[in-house]
């Protein structure tokens, strides 16, 4: 038996993934256990949890693989800060302290903390880890692979040929010319937090018109083959790591939006920001389309895999599926930096001679919930506790009468999407549910959409184009022509669809019960977390949420828990 642990971390969204004999056994983001959103610290809790789930001691590991090369990253940081000296004077001491501290000696820390031989701890290139995380769990034997993010060691965009167990690089774009940097800079300009608010920009974009094309054309120049170059004078990231854009950008687009200010899209000010978001989204889509078409031209393959933080842009992914010239497109659920841990583990396993993993059919790769522990704690809190042999029908009945039910069942998900293991469920036809979720429960911006989960065998009836290879993991959007689904239909007439099969058994059973109750196997599915929090992991997290948020009930496996009898 061979066992390989992959690790990502030290920047944001740290994670660990365990591959045993070529099989993906567990994959866990550190934030789920530390309860620190996008936790960047080395994921020792997640690593220990993966090993414990598999019943392995760290000494049994054949390899621990880090998802990037620390010394190569140090070189890039040193060169990029010196290139803009003295503008980088304030950033330089901090950047060097960061890289010369824990980040440089990361592999020694991993060996010491995990208790493994230092000779077993290795590293792979960041974008190769991204590419592996997509290709090697995809349903394709051969595929073109695009990796697009802010930056790894020095690469921001990679084009790869994937064939069987092999990944061959075909092209690269280097930092600071980065689509991730462009999106992050404008995310900050729009008042959102970088590495957290990009998906908010995507939701906001649907409310705007792309009328700032001429202005954004000054920020990025894109060639027909997808090669692009930023005008760095608009970006402050090299000289100001906290902001991501410079004064020249405000001179071009106007004053930045104040962070945390309430949104009102009926005002001229906020509509202008929505129009900027719409333009950014369009430019991002068109750049990705040019890259994908070049990937198709160079490989001749009919399948495309995507990874890197930019691959979580579901709207862009839908356009790639329709317009890039590929018959099939796949994005694994944790496409961002967390996914690098999975790619690193797979690369290490392949190097040891293990088989390539089979296609990923579920994102339930975390730790399981404990219904007995939930019942005991709920009883101590004075909650109503009812066990049911037909819990899925109970959930469907409550949802169809307007209740909002949180679901904590089985192993928690891998990636930023709740996919029926740690979800909040509501009636997709009820706009009041959407309002209540946004205002009182999720406490988030009013323009952000909610997603539908639908049985795969009925999906095409409600969401044309579904199912495809991305819909099981909610990494694309589909048209939503039926305006009756008001709670999940975005303002642009689309929905970020999750198609459900028996691979997600609890949600599948709920949707079958929804079909019996309401005539349609569709439910609103949003992540089980509060504002600024990671998705819950354990039954203790779930009960804490029930205490502090006005949901109507919590289900842990086959147990219904409510604050009051009913």
Cα(542)–Cα(528) distance, integer angstroms: 8
Inter-helix orientation angle 44-54/106-114, to 10°:
40
Contact 428, 495 (CB under 8 A): no
Collect all residues with Cβ–Cβ distance below 8 Å to 451 and sequence separation of at least 6.
417, 474, 488, 495, 496, 497, 498, 524, 525, 526
Q: Which of 12, 45, 177, 549 is catalytic?
A: 12
Measuring CA to CA, which residue among 359, 361, 344, 350 is closest to residue 22?
A: 350
**DSSP state string for 418-456:** --SSEEEEE-TT-HHHHHHIIIIIS---TT---EEEEEG
Cα(374)–Cα(395) distance, integer angstroms: 17
Contact 453, 523 (CB under 8 A): yes
- Going by the DSSP 8-state scheme, the letter that residue 262 receives in this structure is P
Cα(377)–Cα(388) distance, integer angstroms: 18
Inter-helix orientation angle 198-205/268-299, to 10°:
100
Count of H-run helices and E-run strands, the chain: 19, 24
Cα(203)–Cα(131) distance, integer angstroms: 26
Q: Is 12 a catalytic residue?
A: yes
Cα(136)–Cα(141) distance, integer angstroms: 8
Residue with tokens 């592996």: 132
Cα(208)–Cα(447) distance, integer angstroms: 11
Residue with tokens 């610290």: 41
Cα(538)–Cα(28) distance, integer angstroms: 13
Cα(384)–Cα(561) distance, integer angstroms: 6
Collect all residues with Cβ–Cβ distance below 8 Å to 218 and sequence separation of at least 6.
231, 234, 252
Inter-helix orientation angle 91-98/70-83, to 10°:
170
- Would you please indicate which residues are annotated as catalytic (active-site) residues? 12
């Amino acid at each position: 038996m061979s066992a390989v642990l992959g690790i990502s971390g030290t920047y944001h969204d740290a994670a660990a993934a365990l591959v045993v004999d070529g099989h993906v056994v567990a994959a866990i983001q550190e934030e789920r256990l530390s309860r620190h959103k996008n936790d960047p610290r080395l994921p020792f809790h997640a690593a220990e949890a993966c090993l414990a789930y598999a019943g392995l001691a760290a000494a049994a590991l054949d390899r621990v693989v880090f998802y990037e090369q620390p010394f190569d990253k140090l070189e890039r940081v040193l060169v990029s800060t010196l290139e803009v000296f003295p503008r980088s004077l304030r950033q330089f001491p901090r950047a060097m302290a960061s890289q010369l501290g824990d980040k440089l000696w990361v592999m020694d820390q991993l060996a010491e903390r995990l208790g493994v031989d230092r000779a077993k701890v290795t590293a792979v290139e960041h974008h190769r880890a991204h590419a592996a995380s997509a290709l090697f769990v995809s349903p394709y034997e051969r595929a073109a692979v695009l990796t697009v993010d802010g930056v790894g060691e020095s690469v921001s965009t990679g084009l790869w040929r994937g064939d069987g167990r092999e990944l061959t690089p075909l092209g690269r774009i280097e930092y600071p010319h980065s689509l991730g940097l462009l999106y992050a800079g404008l995310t900050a300009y729009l008042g959102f937090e970088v590495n957290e608010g990009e998906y908010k920009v995507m939701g906001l974009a649907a409310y705007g018109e792309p009328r700032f094309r001429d202005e954004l054309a000054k920020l990025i120049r894109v060639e027909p083959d997808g090669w692009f170059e930023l005008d760095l004078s608009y970006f402050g990231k090299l000289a100001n790591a906290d902001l991501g854009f410079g004064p020249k950008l405000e001179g071009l687009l106007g004053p930045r939006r104040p962070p945390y200010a309430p949104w009102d899209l009926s005002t001229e000010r906020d509509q202008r920001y929505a129009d900027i978001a719409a333009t950014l989204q369009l430019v991002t889509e068109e750049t990705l389309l040019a890259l994908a078409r070049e990937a198709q031209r160079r490989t001749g393959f009919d399948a495309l895999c995507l990874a890197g933080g930019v691959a979580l842009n579901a709207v862009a992914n839908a356009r790639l599926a329709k317009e890039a010239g590929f018959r099939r497109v796949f994005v694994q659920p944790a496409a961002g930096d967390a996914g690098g841990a999975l790619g690193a583990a797979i690369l290490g396993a392949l190097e040891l001679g293990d088989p390539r993993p089979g296609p990923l059919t579920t994102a339930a790769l975390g730790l399981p919930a404990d219904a007995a522990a939930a019942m005991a704690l709920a009883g101590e809190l004075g909650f109503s506790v009812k066990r049911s042999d037909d819990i899925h029908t109970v959930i469907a009945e409550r949802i169809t009468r307007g209740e909002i039910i949180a679901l904590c069942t089985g192993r928690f998900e891998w990636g930023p999407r709740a996919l029926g293991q740690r979800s909040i469920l509501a009636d997709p036809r009820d706009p009041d549910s959407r309002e209540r979720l946004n205002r009182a429960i999720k406490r988030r911006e009013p323009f952000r959409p909610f997603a539908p989960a639908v049985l795969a065998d009925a999906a095409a009836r409600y969401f044309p184009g579904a199912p495809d290879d991305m819909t099981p993991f909610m990494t694309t959007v589909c048209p939503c022509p039926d305006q009756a689904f008001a709670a999940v239909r975005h303002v642009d007439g689309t929905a970020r669809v999750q198609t459900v099969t028996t691979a997600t058994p609890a949600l599948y059973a709920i949707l079958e019960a929804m079909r019996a109750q309401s005539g349609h196997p569709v439910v609103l599915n949003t992540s089980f977390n509060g504002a600024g929090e990671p998705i819950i992991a354990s039954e203790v997290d779930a009960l804490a949420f029930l205490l502090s948020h006005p949901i109507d009930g919590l289900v842990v496996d086959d147990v219904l828990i409510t604050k009051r009898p009913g």
